[in-house]
Amino acid sequence: MIVLILAICGEGKATVLYVRYSSNEIVIGTDSKRTAETGDTVCVCKIFRIGDTFVASAGLAEYGAFDPREFAEKAIKESKTLVEARTRFEQLIEQPLIDVLKKLKTKNRGPYEVFKRGAAIDMVFVRFNDQPELVASALTPKDAPDGSIVLDKHPITLIGDVKRAQRIAVGVSNRAKALAERSSFWAKGAVLGVQHILEISIEDNREAGAPVDIVQLTKDAVRWFPREPECDAKSRRIHEQGSTCNSSKH
């Protein structure tokens, strides 16, 4: 079982992201809460579509003009394969991300130290045409001996059939992880399983918040649960802001 579980939470920045990959479907789920650089809670879409590719993101965002989504979109448009898109994304985002991390390291050391233990950016690219395809990249900052910041890259590639379901998990609570390890947990299907993982993790993490977005990709269809969200060019949810993205059980 391939697992990517990275610590993203801390100092008002957190995402719950779960991807379940199998030979006949890919299911992606995320929460919707983000704390902007201003400290305001904003309600966002963390899954977006570019052509036949779906992208899910976690980590650093809402920091000035820095928007990882822009680099992902450019990378996909300039690439033929998902592996090429990931490589191009890493190239495009590297220096802008380091520049932001330098500012964060100086102004707000806490989140920077959290990113060093997990990742500053997690980006997952998936599509399902003739076969399921998933590539992911986790970018972790590291302090170089000369005081500069360098990025460690942690890639995952899944293409085609697998013997058993694989998963990527970011910000998932220990309680949800324990449940997901039980085979009976998935008896009602991947969509309901991912939804339950997200809901439990949101209950356990005050920095995450509903609503939950889930998209299921199969060879013949794309289905959103409960529905495809409406979002503007900056990924802000339309008609859903403020308290709607706060956790309700604490």
Average pLDDT over residues 118-144: 96
Helix or strand or coil: residue 249? coil
pLDDT range class, residue 37, cuts 50, 70, 90: confident
Domains and CATH numbers, the chain: 5-245 (3.60.20.10)
pLDDT range class, residue 111, cuts 50, 70, 90: confident
Residue 226: asked if its preceding bond is cis (omega within 30°), the reply is yes
Average pLDDT over residues 102-107: 93
How far apart CA 6 and CA 120 sit, in angstroms, is 10
Residues 213-249 pLDDT 10s: 999 999 989 999 999 999 998 899 987 755 567 644 4
Residues 43-67 pLDDT 10s: 999 999 999 999 999 999 878 889 9
Record the tokens describing residue 221, joined without a space. Answer: 């269809």
How far apart CA 83 and CA 126 sit, in angstroms, is 10
Residue 207 has pLDDT above 90, yes or no: no
Q: Give me the pLDDT at residue 249, please.
A: 41
Average pLDDT over residues 59-84: 93
- Looking only at the bridges linking them, the beta strands covering 5-6 and 166-170 are parallel
Residue 80 has pLDDT above 70, yes or no: yes
How far apart CA 126 and CA 20 sit, in angstroms, is 11
Q: Give me the pLDDT at residue 12, please.
A: 33
Residue 4 has pLDDT above 90, yes or no: no
Q: Give me the pLDDT at residue 1, please.
A: 45
Residue 90 has pLDDT above 90, yes or no: yes
The number of CA neighbours under 13 Å toward the Cβ of 193 is 24
Q: Give me the pLDDT at residue 7, please.
A: 36
Q: What is each CA distance from 25 to 36, 104, 126, in whole angstroms?
A: 33, 38, 11
